[in-house]
Each structure stands twice: as structure tokens, then as C-alpha cells.
């Protein structure tokens, strides 16, 4: 006769079996989680690196990458270019855009295009605004006067904005086309992907060449204004009537000034005019020389095109030119300088500086 198994023994076996099953399940779950975590860690550490090895390692996550590219997609713009060599005019046709990025909460945008050349950013054109569409058809054309010599230095910029009546207009994307990379012998019509808008470029104001000469024994400072080039267009017809002012500032106060004659209708004036100032040797370190180029206007107020200043408080090329002048008494030294925005120079002139340059004794 077999003795029956006690009831408590059956319960103990069942409980032990349940505990073993639970432990087995916990092990499986932990193993699965343990495999996933390193994978996640691996992806994070590989993100900053970009090479072929990295690409093969993250291949399983290509779907994630493609999704990210779609989010960055801003759309495409179709445009045309037609340069007339006889009249030296560039005709830009803004045709249409497709698949624009939605900027409004309703999943659409109110797009319009701003068109300009970096060589003359004062002249900008705008298309009409098209409401609630990601595929606007513009069919507008704009004409720019571009001398053939300036074509290789110009970049055509077409920026698509989302119009907003009560807030700042958001930029959807832009196309930048250096004209030097384009064959303008033929009419061009093409599509380009919109890129993220780059930082607004500093406006090119032009350059000026002048020489400085200082004679310590007589205290004579000679400024020879030679010429300027690539000046900013200030007049409606695309030119300027430039002249140059030379200010001497002593201890941050305007002291003496002289100016050149006006050169009509030119962006590359030639002056060759000389000015002599008396600056005692013991004051030369306290003097700033401000060179400013102005556009003369008979009807309205003269407008400053750009400025720069030289002296012991200056920086960069201006300080180097001034130092060379002090180190080479009685010798005229000529140099080209890039013009800066007038307000930037005015602000810099108001700053205190502790920089002192020793004078070379000869």
C-alpha cells in the first residue's frame, strides 16, 4: 500500500514551482533589458562622430535618421536667371515653391519671397503673400542692375518667409547662389532645396586707401587721402557722390577737421588730396584720427557711408598702420582699410583704453 502524499507537501511543491517560474521570468526580463541598454548607450556615444564606421554601426536605426531628415526638410524653390550683357541687367524669376515646411499651427504657411544681391543689399524685392499653402506659385520677376565686373563678386539670395500679421515673420529657408558659379551665357531655370537661413551678412561698405606721415620734430601729421573702392550704393540710380572727412579727436573731443572735394556718380573715387595737421609730439598718443566717407546730397542731409579710426586706442589693421607710422617718422605709409558702420565706430571712440604705445626715438 502506498502512503498518500500529505497535503502540505503538495502545497510546498506548488509554491516552490511558482517561485522558480517567477525567478525564471525575472531573469528573462533582466536579460532583455540588459541587451537594450548598451545599444541605447552606444547610439548616444556615436552621435557626435561622423564617418563610415559610425554609419555601419548605427545602420539598424536608419529609420530614425530618415525621420529626422524629413523634419529638417524645408521645401524646394524654382527660379530662373537671365543676364543681359548689353544692358548689364540680371532678371530673376521666382517661379514656385513646393513642399514648404508648415509654420502655422494649422499645418500650412503664408509664404512670400524676398530677393536681393549681397553686392547691393539696399535693393530688395518681395513677392506677394500667398495664404495657407505649402505649394505657392509666384510667377514674379525682378531686375537688378549689375555691372559685368561685379557679377563674380555677387551672391543671389532668395529667402522664403512665413507672413504673420501680429508677430515677427519666420523664415522658412533660403537659397544662396554665388553668381561666379553660374554660367550666365544662357537663361537658367532650375530647382534648389531650401537651406536653413544663415546669419545676416555684414553689409559691405567699401574700402579706402590713405597714407599717414608724422614728423616728431615739427609736430606735423600728414594724411593723404588716395582713393576708395567698392563703396556702398547710396543713390537711387545705384551710385554715390562720395567725399571724405578727416577728423582729429583729442582726449575724446572733436578737435580739427578737413574734407575732400566731392566725386560725382562713382563707387570708386580717386582723390589724391593731402591734409596737414599740427600735433605736438607730447599729444600724439592722445589723438585719434577718424576717416569717414560720406555721400553728398544737394537736397537732403549728407549720409555717412562708413568710418574707421586710427590711434593708440584702435585695433587690428588700424592700430598696425598707426604703429608703423610712429615707428617710421618722416616716412609716408599707405594702406587699404575696410570701412565700418558709423555707429560702431562712434561707440568705440567713446570707450576708454589703457593701451599706450612707446614712441620710437630716432
Question: What grid cell was written down for 10?
Answer: 503538495
pTM of model > 0.85: no
Phi first, then psi: what are they for 251, rounded to 5°? 50, 45
**Residue pair 325/285 in contact by the 8 Å Cβ criterion:** no
**What is the chain's pLDDT, residue by residue, as a tens digit (362 residues)?**
556 667 777 777 777 778 888 887 787 777 665 544 444 433 323 333 333 333 333 344 444 444 444 447 889 999 999 999 999 999 999 999 999 998 888 889 999 999 998 887 667 888 888 999 999 999 999 999 988 888 888 899 999 999 876 666 789 999 999 998 889 999 999 999 999 887 655 567 889 999 999 999 999 999 999 999 989 888 766 788 999 999 999 887 888 899 999 999 999 999 999 999 999 999 999 999 999 999 998 777 888 999 999 998 887 778 889 999 999 999 999 999 989 888 888 888 874 443 344 444 33
Domains present along the chain, CATH in parentheses:
76-193 (2.60.40.150), 207-349 (2.60.40.150)
Letter string b/e over residues 180-192, b meaning 16 or more CB atoms within 10 A of that residue's CB: eebebeeeeeeee
Amino acid at each position: 500500500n502506498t502512503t498518500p502524499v500529505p497535503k502540505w507537501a503538495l502545497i510546498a511543491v506548488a509554491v516552490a514551482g511558482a517561485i522558480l517560474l517567477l525567478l525564471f521570468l525575472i531573469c528573462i526580463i533582466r536579460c532583455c533589458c540588459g541587451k537594450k541598454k548598451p545599444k541605447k548607450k552606444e547610439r548616444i556615444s556615436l552621435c557626435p562622430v561622423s564617418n563610415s564606421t559610425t554609419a555601419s554601426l548605427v545602420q539598424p536605426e536608419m529609420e530614425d535618421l530618415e525621420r529626422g531628415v524629413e523634419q529638417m526638410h524645408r521645401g524646394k524653390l524654382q527660379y530662373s536667371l537671365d543676364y543681359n550683357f548689353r544692358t548689364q541687367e540680371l532678371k530673376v524669376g521666382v517661379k514656385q515653391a513646393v513642399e514648404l515646411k508648415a509654420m502655422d499651427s494649422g499645418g500650412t504657411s503664408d509664404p512670400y519671397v524676398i530677393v536681393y544681391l549681397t553686392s547691393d543689399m539696399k535693393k530688395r524685392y518681395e513677392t506677394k503673400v500667398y495664404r495657407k499653402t505649402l505649394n505657392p506659385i509666384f510667377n514674379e520677376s525682378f531686375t537688378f542692375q549689375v555691372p559685368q565686373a561685379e557679377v563674380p563678386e555677387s551672391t543671389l539670395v532668395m529667402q522664403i518667409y512665413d507672413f504673420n500679421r501680429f508677430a515677427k515673420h519666420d523664415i522658412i529657408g533660403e537659397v544662396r547662389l554665388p553668381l561666379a558659379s553660374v554660367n550666365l551665357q544662357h537663361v537658367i531655370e532650375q530647382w534648389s532645396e531650401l537651406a536653413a537661413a544663415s546669419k545676416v551678412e555684414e553689409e559691405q561698405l567699401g574700402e579706402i586707401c590713405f597714407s599717414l606721415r608724422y614728423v616728431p620734430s615739427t609736430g606735423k601729421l600728414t594724411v593723404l587721402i588716395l582713393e576708395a573702392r567698392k563703396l556702398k550704393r547710396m543713390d537711387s540710380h545705384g551710385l554715390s557722390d562720395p567725399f571724405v572727412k578727416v577728423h582729429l579727436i583729442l582726449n575724446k573731443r572733436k578737435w580739427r577737421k578737413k574734407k575732400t572735394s566731392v566725386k560725382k556718380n562713382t563707387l570708386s573715387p580717386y582723390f589724391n588730396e593731402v591734409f596737414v595737421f599740427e600735433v605736438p609730439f607730447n599729444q600724439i598718443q592722445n589723438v585719434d584720427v577718424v576717416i569717414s566717407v560720406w555721400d553728398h546730397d544737394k537736397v537732403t542731409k549728407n549720409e555717412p557711408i562708413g568710418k574707421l579710426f586710427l590711434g593708440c586706442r584702435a585695433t587690428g589693421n588700424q592700430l598696425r598702420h598707426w604703429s608703423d607710422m610712429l615707428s617710421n617718422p618722416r616716412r609716408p605709409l599707405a594702406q587699404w582699410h575696410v570701412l565700418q558702420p558709423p555707429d560702431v565706430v562712434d561707440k568705440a571712440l567713446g570707450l576708454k583704453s589703457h593701451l599706450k604705445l612707446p614712441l620710437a626715438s630716432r
